[in-house]
Structure 1
Amino acid sequence: MKKSIVGAVLGVMLTGAASVHAADFVMDTKNAHSFIQFKMSHLGYSWVLGRFNKFDGEFSYDEANPSAAKVSVNIDPSSVDTNHAERDKHIRSEDFLHVDEFPSAKFVSKKVIPEGDGKAKIVGDLTLRGVTKEVVLDAKHIAGGNDPWGGYREGFEGTTTFKLKDFGIPKSLGPAAEEIQLYMTVEGIRK
């Protein structure tokens, strides 16, 4: 009888302790500790690098149960920045992102598949230029802990590659530029 009571109390304590680790986070974009960047081949000779300056997002994470993690990111495609004003104007046009008609893009996770050592596949829907397709982010937990301002943070990075034509982008810059690579690094502040 004593053993079952002790076991029950331990079970409640452990269950309670596990739920303490689960938390919701908001991505720190205000202080520029989160980034969404991309890389695309230019004619096969070099790379065009860019980023989206305006986005926000949230995620939930429990280190004891990473498969229960969720993430959602909203992106303002008109904030594209390749460090070249004329190219950025072209990327915003109907040839590429067509931001006048499609003023937002987003990623919403559907499931997380842990791979060990802080790595995971995050399967989710990416909506870009009005088209929604499933993509897989190769993600990695960087670290988590207390910050100097009394908060708690978790950091992650992730990459994915997809074909531009899969999202209805009509402009072709040749076979070397059919795909784009996205790199995302986020630092979340616990709510």
Structure 2
Amino acid sequence: MNITTTMKSVFIAGVMSLSIAVQAHAQEWTLTPQTHVGFDIRSMGFSIVKGTFNQVQSRMSFDPQVPQNASAEFVLDINSLSLNKPSLRNMILDEDLFYAEKYPTATFNSHEFIALGDNHYSIKGDLTLRGVTQPVTLNTVLKPNTTNPQFLDVESKAVVNRSDFGMKKAFGGIGEQVNIEVNGQWKKR
């Protein structure tokens, strides 16, 4: 074995050790049951419909020292949706909007965490709703909880257009833009 080959082997072993060490510091998190995961639809500046998904499976791998290695996933049970206007439930779950009978879940899978400073992150990923996948960026604040180190406080928002996911446009006075919201806490697993 020559010196160059030996140095390459040492370098590769060092990089692999560093990679394993970095991954070892990333912690696994899940959203607390009290966390609000939902949406707000406005029309002409007024909130028309607010919804909350009551059954959410979530996972986040996150180390604030190396946020570029972070990842997050959500699976939302569409039928667990509760609304501020329960009389709209059937219409919203029907085939013109969520089409819950055919598409019972919505998913978000991140593919990039970008640190913006001061606990702010841009989380880029794919949202799949009604069998349609579109890129979505969650503007997010993730900060340590001041009273319990087992929690990270989270506030995350994004805006999507309903019609991008095959939902009927201009439906019953309901606005086209949907404000997606996650407010609450991640808890260490």
TM-score by length of 1: 0.80
Among candidates 10, 21, 26, match of residue 22 of structure 1: 26
SS at match of 1:177: coil
2:150 match? 152
The answer for the alignment partner of 2:50 in structure 1 is: 49
Give the AA of the match of 1:67: Q
Contact 2:79 / 2:100 at 8 angstroms: preserved in 1?
yes
Aligned to 2:81: 80
Alpha-carbon shift at residue 173 of structure 1 (Å): 3.0
The reply to whether residue 162 of structure 1 matches residue 160 of structure 2 is yes
8 A Cα contact 1:146 1:152, kept in partner:
no
**SS of the residue aligned with 2:164?**
helix
- The 8 Å contact of residues 142 and 157 in structure 1, kept in 2 or not, is answered as no
User: Counterparts of 1:1-191 in structure 2 under 5 Å?
Assistant: 21-29=25-33, 32=34, 34-42=35-43, 44=44, 46-47=46-47, 48-144=49-145, 147=148, 152-173=150-171, 177-191=175-189
Displacement of 1:85 after TM fit? 2.4
Relative to 1, partners in 2 of residues 1:169 and 1:19: Cα closer, same or farther, differing over 3 Å? closer
**Matched residue of 2:154: which SS?**
strand
Whether the 8 Å CA contact 1:154–1:189 is kept in 2: the answer is: yes
Give CA-to-partner distance per residue, 1:129-168, whole Å, 9 cap, x none.
1111110000111324774xxx822222210001100000
Q: 1:82 to 1:66 in 2, by over 3 A?
A: same
| 1:116 aligned partner, one-letter code | G
Structure 1 residue ranges without an equivalent (≥5): 1-14
Let me know the Cα RMSD of the aligned residues.
2.5
CA distance in 1, matches of 2:46, 2:182: 21
- CA distance in 1: counterparts of 2:142 and 2:27, whole angstroms: 15
> In 2, distance between residues paired with 1:91 and 1:174?
11
| 1:10 counterpart residue number | none
1: CA distance between counterparts of 2:114 and 2:173?
Answer: 32
Q: Give distance in 1, aligned partners of 2:101 and 2:56.
A: 17
Pair 1:45–1:145, CA change in 2 (3 A): closer
